[in-house]
Structure formats: C-alpha cells, structure tokens
Structure 1
Amino acid sequence: MKINRHVIRACLRSSRPLFASRRVSVGAKRRMVEMLTATARPPKDTRFERVTIAGVPVERAQTAHAEPEGTLIYLHGGGYALGSARGYRGLVAHLAAAAGMTAVIPDYSRVPEARYPSALEEVVAVYARLLETGLDPKTAVIAGDSAGGGLTLAVAMALRERGIAAPAALGLICPWADLAIDIDGSRRMLRDPLILPSMTAEWAPRYAGNLDPRLPGISPVYGDMTGLPPIVMQTACDDPISVDADKIEAAIAAATGIIDHRRFDNLWHDFHLQVSVLDEAAEAVADLGAKLRTHVLSRGTCEIHSNEAKVVVG
C-alpha cells in the first residue's frame, strides 16, 4: 500500500519531539528507529541469515535473483548510536534486488557502547575477511545511509591508505560526513520533518569523543578524495545534512573523481526508508541499485578511467 508523502511527512514531524528529546534514552530511541525502519518490507522470497564475519555480527540477505552479479556491503544509518542490521533488512533487500546482488549488513558497534574508530575498524575487518575468503572486489560495492554513508566514505579512504583492494563503487544515501560543523553548532535548519541540527549536534561529540572531529575517519569531507571508487549519491533537498553531500561532490570534482549525485526536491533525510510505502522512495532505490550494478558490470570487463566528475540532478 502506497501512502501520500504529505501523510508520511506529518507522521515524521509528530515523532520529532521524542527523537529530539535528551530525556528519552538511547534504548528507547533505538526501539523507535526499529519501528521506523520496519516499514520497509523486504521483497518476497528474500532469505536472511545471521552470521559472524571477523568477529562482527552480520545479516546476509539473498534476494530471489537466481544468479546475483555481486555483493552489496551495506552500512546502516542512525547517528552511530541507533539503527541495526536487522532493522535495515527491508531497505537493503530492496536495494540488493535492484542491484542484482547479495547483501551483507554489518552490525557495527554503536555509541555509547563504543566510539570512533570502532565502527570503522570493524567494517574494514569485515571487508578484508570477505576478500580473504574469495570476494572479488570488482564485484563488490559498499553503500550506506546517513552515518552509514559517511562511514562508507571513511572506509573507502581507509582501504586506500592500507593498500586493500577497493570495491567497484560506493553508494551514498544522505551521507552524514561533516561532524565538525555539528560540534561547532553551525549546521543550518531546513524543512526536514524529522532531523534538526540540535540532533546532529548531540550525536556528533558522542561519536568523536575527545578527538579532532575533522579527522577524515570521523568527517570524511576533510579527507583526501583522490583515487576513490566511483560514487553514486542521492540526497534530499529538505535535509539539513545535504550540505555534506555538496561538499563531497565539490571535493570529488576537485580530485577529478567520478560522482553521480541525484538530488530529490521536497523530500527528507533518508526518505528511502519508506521504500515500501512511498513511490518516490521506491524509484530512488531502484535507480541507485541499477547504477551500482552498472559499475560492477563495467569493472567486470575493464577498469574505469575518467578525469571528470559526473553530476546528475534529479
């Protein structure tokens, strides 16, 4: 059943006081996020398996495709404190189906139980172990939303610095990639029905701790963008976090990298989570999956060379 986006916007706005309140515990907010992400129902006949890779709990998702073309490693959002691999089953299964891939969703450590660099190191370890056990990086992509989008970019930089083979492409959904401006308190408020700058200002220092928030592992917008895999990025124009994506786009262009950035008017942060009930979300997820699949197929036959940044505005 599809729902009008104005109805969804109103529902999100009604829940904002609870998410914004510092009196509501992290545990309660985690349960609320699980309810929110549960609206994304996986495609029929998707199979899930709980496994451990490099000591990290992981959800594997196998869609109904008979012969998947690659592996999607998906990093969930939630401000590094909320969200879970199980809660993101629906969205990731839809994206994996659109890309024609199997999916791996690491349950990386979250704050307050762990701070930077725990999540980064765990994801790098999962990816490296997958390579050791036979994963072809030319058929792999790493993607994520919100904090998971920023983490995706930070992981790609870490892989490059450590000489680990890069995936074929990166997928970024509304990436939270500049925590420094939140700690500085300079993020502007837009029309998003749920996300307020006060929320990111609360989450950012919990993840960064006493470290410099401009470290590329924490805020990858300040890192070196040269030599990264092609990026497919989608953002929402009402999202106050969308300024981070604009910085990523500019930095990739300056580094002569490849980026496909699609912007969605009159939509909110992580609207993709409503993939089962919102037409715009279903179309966006299908588009992102198809574009990621194109990069995997391209890497399967030849290396991609380009000295221009590609931008698509939607």
Structure 2
Amino acid sequence: MSRQQRQALDALLRSGPRLDTQPAPAELRTSFAAAVTRPAPEGVTTRRTVLGGRPALSLEPAGAADRGRLLYLHGGGYVAGSPDTHSGLAGELAARAGLRATSVDYRLAPEHPFPAAVDDGLAAYRDLLATGADPREIVVAGDSAGGGLSIATLLAAREAGLPQPAAVVVFSPWVDLTLSGESMRTKEDADPIVTAAGMRAFADLYIGSGNRNHPLASPVFADLAGLPPILVQVGANEVLLDDAVRLAARAGAAQVEATLEIGPGLPHVYQTEHGRLDEADAALDRAARFLVSHLGALADAGQVPGH
C-alpha cells in the first residue's frame, strides 16, 4: 500500500478545519455534506424510495444478484449526513458485493434526539423482513455514528424478538457516547479530522442529559450475545480507535464471530477515499467479501466476489 498516499491524505485533511466546537446543526450539515459527498459509482442505479416509514435511497449495481439485501446506515454524528452524502460509500460497497442496497434517511438530532435514530433503524430492518426478505440474506453496514447505529439496530431487533441478519460491517464505529476510550486522548494529535471535543458536541446534541451508558446509545456497553458475525474496520490514527477495538473484543467475548482490522496510518472512515487511496479500495473489497461470504444462498452459489 502507498505510504505516499496516506501522507498526502493526512496533509489534505489537516488543511481543513477540525470539529472541536458545537456549530449550529444547519451549518454543520452543510459543511459535512460539502466535505464528504461523493456520487454513487458508475453502474449503480439510484432511486428514491421509502423504508420503515422513512425516506431512503435504493442503490442497485448492474448485474446485482437477485437475492441478498444490504441495509446501510450513514455516519455524521447522529446530527449530519444523509443517504445522498454517503451514496458513494454505500454504492461502492454494494457494487463490490453485487448486492442491492438501501440507505435510510433516519431522523437526526437535535430535532430528533435518541432514540429516534434507533427507532428508525429498527423500523427499516423490520420493514425488510415484513416485505419478505429472508434474514439470512440481509446484511447491514454503517460508518461512524452509522456504525454504532447498525449495532444498536441489531440489539433492538434482538430485544424485539426479530431474527438477526447474516452479517454486519462497521467502519470506524462510534459506540461509546461516554467517550471513555483511551484513544480519545492518546490519538488526539494523530487524528486529522475528529477531536474528543467534537465528539462530545455530537453526543450533547444526540442524547443531551440522557443516559450515555444506555446500550442502544453506546453499544460497547451492551451484551452482544446473539449478534451475527461482525467485521470492524478502523484507522490507527483516530480517536475512535478504542471504540472499535472494544466493540470487537466484547463481541468475541460474547461468542460472536468478530474480525477486527486496524489500518496503520489511516484516518476516520478512510474507506470514503476509495479510488484515491489503495487501502480504502482493499478494505471495501474485504468488507464486500465478508458480507457475501455470510449470505448462505449466495455463498452456496459461488457468488462470492473475487476482487
């Protein structure tokens, strides 16, 4: 992999502002969209739809398998982001996996604080099941806050008595709203994007004076027994490193098949740099193979991606 690419990316990210205050949500959403939005990749058809009563974006790669569905939950600190800002990332994962995907426009804080996002994630998953999708052919993925929301959605589904999907992938998941991970301090200088103060600002908007230890707000404190196989990808240069490490460790301790990948020299949700960073493309390829390898019907048919 290219050290030069990693260094160039780090310098580029450091040239922009870091989130260390609490901007107005409208301003934050605008700047976030400008910074992260990438279009869906060529060959992926998008259309507006509704899932679980919420607006959503359908992403269908050319030649997608007839079976198998990907539910994607975007990042943005529970305050910003949308299926549009993440159509590039979700579309890339869908294309590499050869799966139809739906990215949900869950409600954002502070207008809709915790547990609105979890309720919307659960409603979306419930809707997939209600419309006939086999849970063994559903996979879930998300990044940053959307990674935490992916785990919270599966916990909520478990508590509701719903079957689990086949697998889940999370990129740089935010799973501890108490910010108790050691890397919140030790990686502050190494992280070119995220700060502990910025994460505290997001948590304040999302949960306010509520219980930040709640397992659906901070899944790292949850009992993860019964969840499906999980792949956690995180960069070594991010304050959320310990969120990812502890999530994988707790999953493994709960007898959940857990795979943790730590990318040296890489920043928060580095997968968004697909096409510009070798490590991002390789990580998305591995994530796609992981998801499809756990879809029984597709794996049995030999349709595991080869890239």
Question: TM-score, normalised to structure 2's length?
Answer: 0.91
For residues 77-136 of structure 1, what are the alpha-carbon distances to aligned partners after superposition, in whole Å with 9 as ceiling and x for unaligned? Answer: 111001111110011111011111111000001111110010000111111111111111
Name the SS of the counterpart of 2:29 in structure 1: helix
Q: 1:21-79: CA deviations, max 9, x gaps?
A: 43x432222122212222x4432121101112232010000011243541110100111
Residues 125 and 57 of structure 1: CA distance in aligned 2, closer, same or farther (over 3 Å): same
**Which AA in structure 2 matches 1:79?**
G
Q: Aligned-pair distance for 1:260?
A: 1.1
One-letter code aligned to 1:14: S
Aligned residue in 2 for 1:275: 274
Residues 185 and 194 of structure 1, relative CA distance in 2, 3 Å threshold = same
SS of match in other structure, 1:233: strand
Tell me the distance in 1 between the aligned counterparts of 2:54 and 2:69: 17
Check conservation: 1:79, 1:200, Cα contact below 8 A: yes
Q: Equivalent residue of 1:81, what SS?
A: coil
**Would you say the 8 A contact 1:69–1:100 is kept in 2?**
no
Of the candidates 43, 54, 57, which is equivalent to residue 56 of structure 1? 54
Q: Residues 194 and 268 of structure 2 are in contact (CA less than 8 Å); yes or no, is this contact kept in structure 1?
A: yes
Over 3 Å counting, the alpha-carbon distance change for 1:298 and 1:229 in structure 2 is farther
2:185 partner amino acid:
R
Any idea what SS the aligned residue of 1:16 has? coil
SS of 2:11's equivalent?
helix
Q: Alignment partner for residue 139 of structure 1, among 107, 128, 137?
A: 137
Q: Which residue of 1 aligns with 2:25?
A: 26
Q: CA deviation at 1:299?
A: 8.4
Instruction: Tell me which residue corresponds to 1:187.
Output: 184
Identity percentage over the alignment? 33
Letter aligned with residue 7 of structure 2 = H
Return the offset for 1:293: 0.7
Residue 108 (str. 1) matches residue 106 (str. 2): yes
Aligned residue in 1 for 2:304: none
State the distance in 2 between where 1:81 and 1:270 align.
17
Contact 2:49–2:57 (CA under 8 A) maintained in structure 1: yes
Pair 300,167 (structure 1): closer, same or farther in 2 beyond 3 Å: farther
Write the distance in 2 (CA, Å) between the matches of 1:66 and 1:249: 30
- Residue in 2 that maps onto 1:224: 223
Partners of 1:152 and 1:172 within 8 A in 2: yes
Contact persistence 2:172–2:234 (CA under 8 A): yes
> Which residue is equivalent to 1:86?
84
